Amino acid sequence: MELSDIRMRIDEIDAQLLDLFCARMGLAADVARAKAGTGKAVFDPAREREKLARIAEQAPEHLRPQAIALFSLLMSMNKAEQQRILAPARPERISELMRRALKPHDEPFPALATVACQGVEGAYSQIAATRLFRVPSITFFDTFEDVFRAVCEGRCAFGVVPIENSTAGSVNAVYDLLAAHSCYIVRSLRQKIDHSLLAKPGTRLEDIREVCSHEQALAQCAGYLARLGVQATPCKNTARAAELVAGSDRRDLAALSSRACAELYGLDIIEPDVQDSDNNYTRFVVISAEPAIWPGAQRTSLMLALSHEPGSLFRVLERFYALDINLVKLESRPIPGRDFEFMFYFDIDCPVGAEALGTLLDGLGDVCERFTYFGSYTEVL
C-alpha cells in the first residue's frame, strides 16, 4: 500500500474510534443515574480490575501494555464525566466554594492590609510582605503557629509565611498548619534569597566559630558552613539571628541573614551571597482565614491522603491527565502515625474559570481517602 492509502485507512479507523468514544462517553449519564439510584460510588475497583483483566486477555501480547493504558484512560475519563453529572450544585462542593470566593474582575489585590509575619524587622517574610502589599501594617510573631492564630482570630487580615525553597524543599510545618487551621492561600511570591554572613564590626572571617540562623537558611548554606568548619546553630528566624549577634559581646559569633539586617542591626557584611546555590528562591504565600480568589488566579494547591494500595496515586494522576490539567508540584510526605502511608502535595496550573478544574476538584473524593483544598491564587514573580 502507498503511504497515502495507509493514511486514508488510518483516518477511517480514527473516525470510527471517535464515534465509538462519543457513544461510550454518552453512556456515562446512564451509568451515573443507575449508580445514583443504588448509592454506589463512581469508582468500582472490582469492576475495573475485571475489565482490564479481560482486555489483557483479548489483546495481542505485544500490544497488551498499550491496550491496558488506553482502556485505563477511557475509564478515567468516564469516571470524571460521571462525577460531573452526579455532583449537583451544593454549597460543600469545592467548585461552589471557589465560585463564591471569586472577586469581581475589576477588584485589585489589596494594597493596604494588616499582615502577620514570623520573626522581627528584616526577616525575609517581612521583605516578601512589602513586595506583596504596597503599604502593609506588619505585626511580628515568634512562630508560624502564632501567625496562623493571628489570622484565624481576626487580629490580622493576612499572614505571610514561607512554604517552599528551591534548595531546602518544602516547609512542612506550614503545610501542617494550613490543614490544621483551615486557612487558605490567596497569593504567592517567588523571591530570590541571598544570605550574607553578618558579624559585629571589626570581626574577621577567621575569628568566627559559630553561625546562627533559621534551619532553612543553614540548610541552604550547608556547604559553605562546612568549608568554614564552624558550628551551625538554628534559631527562630534569620533576622532574629542578626538581632542576637548584635546584642552579644562575642566576636566569634555570626549570623546568616539578609543584607537589610546589616544596616538594621549595625553589623558588618563579612561575606555576601554565601548560599550554596545562586538559584536560591523561596516561595512565600499569603494566607487568609476565608477563601478569596482574585481575577487571573492560575494556581491551585491541594493536599491528598491516599489509600495504601497499588495504583492509588496512579488513579489520581490519571484523572489529571484525562482532564488535561498540568501539575507543577507533586511531593509526598509520610502520614504521622501510619507506617508506609503518605500524603501528597499538589500544585496545579489551571485557570480558575476552567470547567476542567471544577470537575477535577468535585470528583477527587472518589479517588482518595481525603483531600484539603488550600486555595487558588496568582503567583507573583
Residues annotated as catalytic (active site), given as ranges = 282, 284
Taking each helix axis from N to C terminus, what angle separates 144-152 and 172-181, rounded to the nearest 10 degrees? 20
Of the chain, the end-to-end C-alpha distance in Å amounts to 55
4, three cell numbers? 497515502
For residue 301, give the H/E element and its range.
strand 299-305
What span, in angstroms and rounded, lies between the C-alpha atoms of 216 and 199? 19
Task: Name the DSSP class of 247.
Answer: T
288, three cell numbers? 487568609
Phi-psi sector, 169: left (phi>0), alpha (psi -120 to 50), beta: left
Q: DSSP 3-state assignment of 290? A: coil
The string of DSSP letters for 314-359 reads HHHHHHHHHTT-EEEEEEEEEPTTSTT-EEEEEEEE--TT-HHHHH
Nearest one of 272, 275, 317, 301 to 377, comparing CA atoms: 301
For residue 130, give the H/E element and its range.
helix 124-132
